[in-house]
Amino acid sequence: MPTIDINEEEILTAFEKGQLKSVATKSELAKFKSAARATAVKDRRVNIRLSSIDLHDIQVKALEEGIPYQTLIASVLHKYVTGRLAEQPSRIKSRSPSAGKRGSA
């Protein structure tokens, strides 16, 4: 588990003791629930082809994040189509072509 600072610890303790109350209105809660349901529904399946190197890099990044690589791919695509994926200046690291030749998953 990642370390948390003192402020986060206080919030967590208050939450666990039931001391926090929602400030959202009923209509806001309904809107949030609807958005969560729409986001969580995964009713379609797609197959894509990726280079071995890209797949390896995605799997490494997912491992660092502690999530399945398919979830990472879905998250990145969702952020892109909703306009929440911010483009940053290129920070391309040199990637060895042999990196993709290691076992495939």
23-57: pLDDT as tens digits: 889 898 888 888 777 777 778 899 999 999 999 99
Taking the CA atoms of 28, 29, 34 and 39 in sequence, report the sign of the dihedral they define.
positive
Can you give the pLDDT at residue 82? 87
**Residues 104, 50 contacting (CB under 8 angstroms):** no
Can you give the pLDDT at residue 32? 85
pTM of the model: 0.50
Angle 70-88-83 from CA coordinates, rounded to 5°: 60
**Residues 82, 36 contacting (CB under 8 angstroms):** no
Alpha carbon distance 26, 10 (integer Å): 27
Backbone φ and ψ for 96, nearest 5 degrees, come out as -80, 130
